[in-house]
Amino acid sequence: MSTPLPGMTLPADHPLVTTDPSRSTAASPLIAAYRGETTSRTPVWFMRQAGRSLPEYRRAREGTGMLEACLTPALAAEITLQPVRRHDVDAGIFFSDIVVPLKLAGVDVDIVPGTGPVLGSTVRTAADVAALPQLTEEALERIREAVRLTVAELGSTPLIGFAGAPFTVAAYMVEGGPSRDHLGPRTMMHADPETWDALATWAADAAGRFLRAQIEAGASAGQLFDSWAGSLSLSDYERYVQPYSARALSHLASEVPSGVQQAPLVHFGTGTSEILPAMRDAGASVVGVDYRLPLGEADRRLAKSPGPDGRGAVPLQGNIDPALLAAPWEILEAHVREVVDAGRAAPGHVVNLGHGVPPTTDPDVLTRVVELVHSIQP
């Protein structure tokens, strides 16, 4: 298995470091909120904002498969930029998918329309894991190029890097595709912990290298997305998952403990209300909260459960209920205002959805939500 890379030092022309005001993101509302600092306006972006809800996305993707789009630098950059142009969100989220690192490593995987990621073969034995190819720095060059193209167009608007968390990626590998209960990986943890360790370590190193490549190329923050962590008990999460999320995030460790050279890292999962302190303790500086738990309660749970390093409450991201995007405006507006108000309890708050943008969402509604959030004083 590969080992975490040496401490990361951002180049002098990186958006978090540069002194060029037209390219600097260090004082942007998003980065300020992620660091728990005062913001000039309430920042907002949406998970899955670059995607199926936009007609320009559908035109750009016409005739192109999902993974091909992710691995074509100019197209990935264009798709990432589309919602920033349309909605005036406070960040772009790098257009990718959680299985892109697998594809880059040489794993047989595809994204099947209407189904999701599907692997050519499952990974269920020690021999299966030992046969997995390693993700190399050379294979990541297309990702770096896509990030460079995107950052050049974003100017002082931050780009957020993206990677799937080890548990979610490993769950797809064990099951061979989407699963409702993730029984396979949950069983492997207990029945064959050595194979689980090897697989989760592989997934952690792939995620960490993938996310690090994006940040080194110009992303100003990163998000580790654990879609299926909510299927776990707290004890299973702490024993069999948290160490590997921590390993993934360790690839992003900076050689300086604080300051502008450190990119904020967000850890988000769905159905994770009962494990938020454990997710924080994996090492991210911001915790994403899904729509099931009010932000004030999330802040309370984090504050009352400080981790081994003494951290309690941290900046939060979230958590508009995506279902309300199709509700009458007066209902959605009231909900958005409640979310913004609840977020004031946390050391910092970036408004987002409690999951991704549904593909049927009216883009004009998203634009209107952004305008509303920006109109509310931080």
Catalytic residue positions? 48, 52, 61, 97, 172
Closest CA to 17 of 367, 255, 179: 255
Adjacent-strand bridge partners of 44: 351
223 φ/ψ sector (left φ>0, alpha ψ -120 to 50, else beta): beta
Are 247 and 201 within 8 A, CB to CB? yes
DSSP secondary structure letter of residue 44:
B
Adjacent-strand bridge partners of 269: 226
Beta-strand (E) ranges in 114-252?
116-119, 159-164, 221-226
Closest CA to 78 of 91, 61, 100, 65: 61
In the block, tokens 């498969």 appear at: 65
Angle between the 329-343 and 295-303 helix axes, to the nearest 10 degrees?
20
CA 33 to chain centre: 16
- 111: helix, strand or coil: strand
- 327: helix, strand or coil: coil
- Please state whether beta strands 316-317 and 349-350 pair in parallel, antiparallel, or not at all (unpaired): parallel
Sheet holding 316-317, edge to edge: 92-93, 159-164, 221-226, 265-269, 286-288, 316-317, 349-350
What separation in angstroms does the CA of 177 have from each of 91, 171, 230, 331? 30, 8, 18, 37
Closest CA to 147 of 104, 95, 103: 95
Angle CA 41–288–164, to nearest 5: 120
